[in-house]
């Protein structure tokens, strides 16, 4: 059986290569303005290049590979959509950190955008990232002729659904206590499938879509992404379970370990990992990065 260290040794070089690929593309797609608004761009860049793992765009690239996209198409066929989902994710973090939301002063060891710049500029930086994400995802020229227009249009609609009121934003509204009570496993699962799972689902599905996969494969990759996203969230909750987290105690939303106990939460993670593996059956060695990402989501220690 492959050891923890062996799996990480295989995954990290892949992650670093893909992350560098995404960072280079983001720099190309979101260049500094010649004159203005320079402060706005600086604030958005502070968030966009703040040291994130790039899990969502890497997932899109790995799914593109798994369905054979990289064997027949250039990376330009998927990079705009992959970078667009990272911009959506980043905007959500900027807004989450605001005093009216989670009121966080630090993220990844640095001041949050509203602390570094101002609350108003942070709000505008998030708005800019969200708007530019959709401009990029639907911009035909960004794909350099490598993707079909109808698939680009579908990718844009998919991203709107994943990010919108039935997806991530709707999940955030539940998480802040504005909607239904979250007091059992079913309601907590419903919340996180939207707040976290929908962007993961989009990432894997869009990689398959733009990799010229069949509808069945696009759906299968979407199911994999959803399971991965939920496993990632439960794993986050487990990692936080032993910390003195006053913010979590004040939140209207319980964690998975709080509802299920740590052992129960780990059981759910293990079941989701098996579900990910099951969904990847038949894709062969091309899907190995996706298998490693699923394992990492469940077994990581940070």
Q: For position 222, what pLDDT does the model report? A: 98
Cα separation of 259 and 262, whole Å?
A: 9
Cα separation of 39 and 67, whole Å?
A: 41
Q: For position 1, what pLDDT does the model report? A: 47
Q: For position 250, what pLDDT does the model report? A: 55
Q: For position 142, what pLDDT does the model report? A: 97
Cα separation of 244 and 252, whole Å?
A: 17
Q: For position 217, what pLDDT does the model report? A: 98
Domains of the chain as residue ranges with CATH:
4-299 (1.10.600.10)
* Burial class of residue 204, CB neighbours in 10 A (0-12, 13-18, 19+): buried
Residuewise pLDDT in 10s, the chain (302 residues)? 455 566 667 788 999 999 999 999 999 999 999 888 999 999 999 999 999 899 999 999 999 999 999 999 999 999 999 999 999 999 999 999 999 999 999 999 999 999 999 999 999 999 999 999 999 999 999 999 999 999 999 999 999 999 999 999 999 999 999 998 999 999 999 999 999 999 999 999 999 999 999 999 999 999 999 999 999 999 999 988 755 454 455 566 889 999 999 999 999 999 999 999 999 999 999 999 999 999 999 988 76
Q: For position 251, what pLDDT does the model report? A: 63
Q: State if pTM tops 0.75.
A: yes
Q: For position 34, what pLDDT does the model report? A: 85
- Which contacts of 176-179 are long-range, i.e. CB under 8 A and separated by 24 or more positions? 176/101, 176/252, 177/252, 177/253
Cα separation of 174 and 197, whole Å?
A: 14
């Amino acid at each position: 059986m492959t050891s923890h260290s062996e799996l990480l040794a295989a995954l990290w070089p892949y992650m670093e290569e893909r992350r560098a690929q995404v960072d280079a593309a983001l720099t190309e797609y979101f260049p500094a303005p010649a004159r203005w608004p320079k402060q706005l761009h600086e604030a958005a860049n502070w968030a966009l290049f703040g040291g994130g793992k790039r899990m969502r765009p890497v997932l899109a690239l790995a799914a593109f590979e798994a369905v054979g996209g990289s064997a027949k198409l250039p990376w330009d066929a998927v990079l705009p959509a992959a970078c667009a989902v990272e911009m959506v994710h980043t905007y959500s973090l900027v807004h989450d950190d605001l005093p009216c939301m989670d009121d966080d002063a630090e993220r990844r060891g640095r001041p949050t955008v509203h602390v570094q710049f101002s609350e108003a500029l942070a709000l505008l930086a998030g708005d800019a990232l969200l708007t530019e994400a959709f401009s990029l995802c639907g911009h035909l020229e960004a794909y350099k002729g490598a993707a079909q227009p109808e698939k680009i249009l579908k990718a844009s609609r998919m991203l709107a659904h994943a990010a919108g009121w039935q997806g991530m934003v709707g999940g955030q509204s539940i998480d802040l206590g504005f909607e239904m009570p979250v007091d059992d496993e079913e309601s907590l699962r419903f919340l996180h499938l939207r707040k976290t799972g929908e962007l993961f689902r989009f990432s894997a599905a869009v990689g398959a879509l733009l990799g010229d996969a069949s509808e069945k494969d696009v759906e299968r990759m979407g199911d994999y992404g959803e399971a991965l996203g939920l496993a990632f969230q439960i794993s986050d909750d487990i990692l936080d379970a032993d910390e003195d987290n006053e913010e979590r105690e004040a939140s209207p939303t319980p964690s998975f370990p709080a509802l299920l106990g740590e052992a129960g939460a780990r059981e759910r993670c293990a079941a989701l990992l098996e579900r990910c593996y099951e969904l990847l059956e038949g894709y062969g060695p091309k899907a190995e990065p996706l298998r490693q990402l699923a394992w990492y989501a469940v077994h990581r220690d940070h």
